[in-house]
């Protein structure tokens, strides 16, 4: 009886050993029960799976992810990897966005660029309307209304130096250049106040004035005589070249048959002032030449 019991125990032992071996083999191959999965794994359909990563059991047993999805942290997500390298806007390649542009810009090749269209039509310089440039001007020029024009240095002679004039918006040396002098008109005293108040012509006749223009006392021009008037209007013009230090004189005569009577003269020893003023009006009511109006302009 004792021997029989031992035998039974032996058989049981062997049987159980085999059972144990079988169990271990079975468990390591295709799982066993819930208690047998390693830490972090869960038994799903007789398999120990990681619900965080298993696309057939994502998050929970039997939750199968789509063909284009992967299981990440227990959720089915697209298996696409977004790529925004070097991009500040536009598609990330996975249906997402790499960013959006501000209102005045558009996304072009992953970059936010101005949506302004530059306009340089008819322009050689200046703003293109989008913050760019249509070109720059050469030295001595300035951009005006999209065109390169010479730099404006002056608007009148006083914008320039002492011995300079403003010529077509450029300051130029005043001397060694041609001017047009116009002797406009004069007012002559009724009698020759310089010579005992004599009449200009015999019997109270009025003078017949003409004017001579002289540079440094050399005659350079002579007007026609106007008959019998104290208020000659000549509008006589003569072109002269003026140099620094020149003096301009205006001699007025009464034309006579024999020797002309000298009425009087006005000497301009400061022509640069006259040039800058565009002329002068001399007045002296006590003199034979009570008024003389002259204009001058560069040619
Ligand atoms: Ca006379
Ligand atoms: Ca006369
Ligand atoms: Ca006369």
End-to-end CA distance of the chain: 154
Q: What does the pLDDT look like over 218-274, one tens digit per residue?
A: 999 999 999 999 999 999 999 999 999 999 999 999 999 989 999 999 999 999 999
Beta bridge partners of 211: 252
* Position 45 pLDDT exceeds 60: yes
pLDDT at 29: 43
* Position 13 pLDDT exceeds 80: no
Cα(114) to ligand 3 centroid in Å equals 84
Between residues 130 and 21, the one the model is more confident about: 130
The CA distances from residue 237 to 63, 95, 157, in Å, are 110, 86, 22
Cα(201) to ligand 3 centroid in Å equals 5
d(CA 119, CA 133): 10
Cα(252) to ligand 3 centroid in Å equals 12
Distance of CA 2 to the CA centre of its chain: 117
Cα(255) to ligand 3 centroid in Å equals 5
The structural domains of the chain, with segments of one domain joined by +, span 177-298
Between residues 239 and 46, the one the model is more confident about: 239
Q: How confident is the model at residue 189 (pLDDT cuts 50, 70, 90)?
A: very high
Cα(199) to ligand 2 centroid in Å equals 10
Q: How confident is the model at residue 95 (pLDDT cuts 50, 70, 90)?
A: confident
Cα(198) to ligand 3 centroid in Å equals 13
pLDDT at 68: 86
* Position 169 pLDDT exceeds 50: yes
What's the mean pLDDT when you consider all of the chain? Answer: 88
d(CA 293, CA 140): 38
Tell me the helices (H) and strands (E) count for the chain, helix number first: 2, 18
Q: So what's the architecture of 177-298 in CATH?
A: Sandwich (2.60)
For residues 43 and 33, is the Cβ–Cβ distance under 8 A?
yes
- Point out the ligand nearest to the CA of residue 230: 2
Residue 207: strand, helix, or coil: coil
Cα(180) to ligand 1 centroid in Å equals 30
For residues 138 and 129, is the Cβ–Cβ distance under 8 A?
no
Cα(196) to ligand 3 centroid in Å equals 17
Residue 214 is given by DSSP the state E
Cα(31) to ligand 1 centroid in Å equals 148
Cα(259) to ligand 1 centroid in Å equals 8
**Which residues are in the CB-under-5-Å shell of ion ligand 1?**
200-201, 254, 256, 261
Residue 126: strand, helix, or coil: coil
Phi, psi torsion values for 9, nearest 5 degrees: -60, -40
Cα(268) to ligand 1 centroid in Å equals 26
Cα(254) to ligand 3 centroid in Å equals 5
The CA distances from residue 115 to 86, 170, 215, 265, 268, in Å, are 20, 42, 68, 74, 66
Taking 3-state DSSP, the helix, strand and coil percentages for the chain, each rounded to the nearest 5, stand at 15, 35, 50
For residues 53 and 71, is the Cβ–Cβ distance under 8 A?
yes
């Amino acid at each position: 009886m004792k021997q029989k019991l031992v035998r039974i125990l032996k058989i049981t032992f062997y049987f159980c050993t085999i059972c144990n071996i079988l169990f271990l083999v079975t468990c390591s191959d295709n799982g066993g029960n819930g208690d047998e999965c390693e830490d972090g794994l869960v038994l799903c359909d007789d398999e120990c799976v990681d619900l965080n990563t298993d696309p057939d059991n994502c998050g929970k047993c039997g939750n199968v992810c789509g063909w284009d999805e992967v299981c990440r942290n227990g959720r089915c997500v697209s298996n696409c990897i977004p790529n925004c390298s070097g991009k500040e806007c536009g598609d990330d390649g996975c249906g997402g966005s790499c960013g959006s542009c501000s209102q005045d810009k558009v996304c072009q090749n992953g970059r936010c660029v101005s949506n302004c269209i530059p306009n340089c039509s008819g322009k050689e310089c200046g703003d293109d309307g989008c913050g760019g440039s249509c070109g720059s001007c050469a030295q001595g020029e300035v951009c005006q209304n999209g065109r390169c024009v010479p730099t404006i240095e002056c608007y009148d002679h006083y914008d320039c130096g002492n011995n300079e004039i403003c010529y077509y918006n450029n300051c130029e040396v005043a001397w060694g250049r041609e001017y047009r002098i116009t002797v406009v008109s004069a007012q002559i005293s009724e009698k020759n106040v310089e010579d005992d108040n004599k009449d200009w012509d015999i019997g109270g006749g009025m003078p017949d004035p003409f004017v001579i223009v002289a540079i440094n006392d050399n005659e350079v021009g002579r007007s026609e005589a106007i008959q019998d008037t104290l208020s000659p209007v000549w509008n006589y013009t003569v072109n002269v070249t003026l140099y620094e230090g020149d003096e301009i004189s205006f001699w007025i005569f009464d034309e006579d048959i024999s020797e002309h009577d000298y009425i009087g003269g006005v000497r301009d020893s400061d022509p640069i002032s006259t040039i800058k003023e565009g002329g002068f009006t001399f007045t002296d009511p006590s003199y034979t030449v009570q008024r003389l109006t002259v204009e001058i302009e560069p040619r």
